[in-house]
Structure 1
Amino acid sequence: MKHETDVVVVGAGPAGLFAVFQCGMVRLKCHVVDALDAVGGQCAALYPEKPIYDVPAQPSILAADLIDQLQAQAAPFNPTYHLGRQMTGLDKAENGWRCSLSDGTEIMAKVVIVAAGSGAFGPNRPPLDGLQVYEGQGQGRGVNYFVTRREDFRGKKVVIAGGGDSAVDWAISLSELAASVQVVHRRPKFRAAPESEAKLKALSESGKIELVVPYQLHGLGGANGQLHSVIVATLDGQTRTLAADVLLPFFGLATELGPIAQWGLAMDKNVISVDPASMQTSVPGIFAAGDICTYPGKLKLILSGFAEAARAAHSAYEAAHPGEALHFEHSTSMGAPGK
């Protein structure tokens, strides 16, 4: 099947969805490609019930709700979604780019915006003997790497390993409903937002959370595939056994760019280098926004991805309509999107 459009957006996460909206506001039609079967990227696939605190005008919003609102915001511009498919080929054509998808679909586009997050992703697994026996048993049982339904952990004995934002945020959240929450970390200092770390330690002092410090994961105990305990050890070999229904190891994600790495774009440590004034990559007509791109002073925040998506959309208009002035109006002047 063949299509023609103004812009192909690669990635249907927050930055990609907002790029669709911004392109619509400058009268550019979009097709969106994502390897996942649903929109939302990591927000939807990995932590839909995780609260996000740094979206402007939203003191707290669940990741899934943010994605729902972004999709609704883009909907008036009727984007075409190609989900569950990779963009395997990107070739220069006379009037833009030939985008080849893994299912044989071909899309001709004037411009490409890459908003693919960090690429394909999966968890960094701890090196524990017998780990696989306890994986894949569903939320709230065995070893889980993501929390997709918070309620599944109600009344459970939860052990969380890690010292970053995910470990700290989920420890705080699950302490509201789990039977117990123990956080295993190799040192007293955590790598989380200062306010979150302060809340974690306050919950520890009140007895709602136990900080198991300085320890690291050492082994797992259970029977018939059912996890019963997590064994931890200090650096000098002292061990301790923690009762557990579920272990949540938060050691980050292993990511790979996949076909994007073959598109001839200038890279910096596995992300795409862009000009922050235009969000253009090293290849004219290809732009990038969100976690997939980098430039001096880059902040890896969702709100930064939104601003980058807006800049990329305006640059896309200039690339799609060279020499044609964009008479841009603010949304309050233009009226409701899509009207």
Structure 2
Amino acid sequence: MSPSDASPTASPLSQPAVDTDALIIGAGPAGLFQAFQLGLQGIQAHLVDALPHIGGQCSQLYGHKPIYDIPGIPVCTGQELVQLLEAQIAPMAVPRNLSQQVETVRPLDDGRWQVGTTAGTVFHARTVFIAAGVGAFVPKALKVPGVEALAADQLFYHPSQLDMVQGRTVVIYGGDEEAVNAAIQCSAEDGAKAAKTYLMHRRDAFNAEPAQLAQLQQLRDNGAIEVLIGQITEVQPNGELLKSVQWMDGDGNEHPLPTELLLVFQGISPRLGPLTDWGLALERKQLLVDPATLATSAQGIYAIGDIVSYPGKKRLILCAFHEATMAAFAAAEYLQGHKPLLEYTTTSARLHSILGVSHS
């Protein structure tokens, strides 16, 4: 499990630097298509994102909502769009570095950029592409007395894996789809099964798909999950170990609840964070770029999507796709020293080779 699953501020020890032609900050639709366009130019890229999964804002906020303005796709959900983009970059085998936020971007003497993340990962990248949307999405922290004393393996924010719940008493705090799904998984017979699962939310209404809600109700009825309507007011540790949580019901009454693990799903929020310290030209919290190349004020750093500003900019996914294409061509010229040929995926043997297209 990634350290960022355990805490929004985890910063493990550094690792050996990863050399890459391009580093894409943000694994939402814009970042995924940027990886595709770079791949067509023969440029190796890595993806990095603060979330534990790809898709960014699109999958997190619009996962099950319909989108109607993607060319050639009359309607799809945010999650379906992400799945299609993921399938599109599959031939490029783009490495993903998830659950980590970029903290530092510094120039190296040889013209590359040194990029460091909250997971201790260090990249030496010839080019950097910022596709961070409205900022890095990070979990909203639980702010109650006692939280700071907990060890990293006692409190988890939006964990992507649930192996740690095996045989333990767990409180899942939240009311969205992720929280409901975590409660169901903790009670599943074929997975890591908790000894006791509590699902706590401020009201007895959960924001999840009907099938999930039906499964949750079934597990409530048979006692596999106990739902508590209220909010946590205090965490009571025994040293670094979680002993119990204090929670308040709708009538204002306080109750102690012994537990061993706390999984928090309070949602996520976008933050520009350290991006404002990277020395790039900003205007109203957006990066200023050249619309012809999507180049920022720093050589070798490009930006696309909602994070950028230029005359006529429209904050639409389809515009970000165009920007990714322009940025990839500009980066290819920057890296190779000459303008790349304009080739078409319908006829180019080189592109067919990259995409794994068979002519048999």
Q: Under TM normalisation by the shorter chain, which class is it?
A: 0.5 to 0.7
Equivalent residue number for residue 101 of structure 1: 114
Match of 1:328 among 344, 349, 355: 344
For 2:51, the aligned partner's letter is Q
Gaps of 5+ in 1: 46-51, 60-65, 91-97, 299-303
For 1:183, the aligned partner's letter is L
Q: 1:318 to 1:147 in 2, by over 3 A?
A: closer
Deviation track 1:259-302 (CA, whole Å, cap 9, x = no partner) reads 357522445xx566999x9995998994424x85798675xxxx
- Are the aligned partners of 1:119 and 1:258 in contact in 2 as well (CA < 8 Å)? no
For 2:228, the aligned partner's letter is V
Alpha-carbon deviation of 1:250?
A: 1.8
The CA distance in 2 between the partners of 1:293 and 1:202, in whole Å, is 47
Equivalent residue number for residue 263 of structure 1: 280
Equivalent residue number for residue 174 of structure 1: 186
For 2:25, the aligned partner's letter is G
Please give the residue correspondences for 1:109-128 in structure 2 after superposition, counting only pairs within 5 Å.
Answer: 113-116=129-132, 119=135, 123-128=139-144
For 2:345, the aligned partner's letter is E
Equivalent residue number for residue 29 of structure 1: 43
Q: Any idea what SS the aligned residue of 2:199 has?
A: strand
Alpha-carbon deviation of 1:153?
A: 0.8
With the length of structure 1 as denominator, give the TM-score of the two structures. Answer: 0.61
The CA distance in 1 between the partners of 2:195 and 2:293, in whole Å, is 47
- Are the aligned partners of 1:265 and 1:282 in contact in 2 as well (CA < 8 Å)? no
The CA distance in 2 between the partners of 1:308 and 1:198, in whole Å, is 39
Q: Any idea what SS the aligned residue of 2:51 has?
A: helix
The CA distance in 2 between the partners of 1:206 and 1:278, in whole Å, is 61
Q: Structure 1 residue 315 and structure 2 residue 331: aligned?
A: no
Alpha-carbon deviation of 1:249?
A: 1.9
Equivalent residue number for residue 167 of structure 2: 155
With the length of structure 2 as denominator, give the TM-score of the two structures. Answer: 0.58
- Are the aligned partners of 1:281 and 1:288 in contact in 2 as well (CA < 8 Å)? no
The CA distance in 2 between the partners of 1:338 and 1:310, in whole Å, is 18
Deviation track 1:285-329 (CA, whole Å, cap 9, x = no partner) reads 94424x85798675xxxxx6xx77754432225546699873321
Q: Any idea what SS the aligned residue of 1:248 has?
A: strand
Equivalent residue number for residue 165 of structure 1: 177
- Are the aligned partners of 1:279 and 1:308 in contact in 2 as well (CA < 8 Å)? no
Equivalent residue number for residue 188 of structure 1: 204
Q: Any idea what SS the aligned residue of 1:335 has?
A: helix
The CA distance in 2 between the partners of 1:115 and 1:122, in whole Å, is 15
For 1:126, the aligned partner's letter is L
Q: 1:316 to 1:123 in 2, by over 3 A?
A: closer
For 1:229, the aligned partner's letter is S
Deviation track 1:106-129 (CA, whole Å, cap 9, x = no partner) reads 8665xx631246655654332322
The CA distance in 2 between the partners of 1:167 and 1:332, in whole Å, is 47
Alpha-carbon deviation of 1:220?
A: 2.8
Q: 1:225 to 1:309 in 2, by over 3 A?
A: same
How many residues align? The count is: 287
Q: 1:84 to 1:278 in 2, by over 3 A?
A: closer
Equivalent residue number for residue 301 of structure 1: none
Please give the residue correspondences for 1:1-339 in structure 2 after superposition, counting only pairs within 5 Å.
Answer: 8-11=22-25, 13=27, 16=31, 18-25=33-40, 27-30=41-44, 32=46, 39=48, 41-43=50-52, 55-56=79-80, 73-75=91-93, 86-88=104-106, 100-101=113-114, 113-116=129-132, 119=135, 123-136=139-152, 138=153, 142-176=154-188, 177-193=193-209, 195-213=211-229, 215-253=230-268, 255-260=271-276, 262-267=279-284, 286-289=302-305, 310-317=321-328, 319=330, 326-330=342-346, 334-337=351-354
% identical aligned pairs: 24
Gaps of 5+ in 2: 1-19, 55-62, 65-77, 117-121
How large is the Cα RMSD of the aligned pairs?
5.0
- Are the aligned partners of 2:177 and 2:208 in contact in 1 as well (CA < 8 Å)? yes
Q: Any idea what SS the aligned residue of 2:164 has?
A: helix
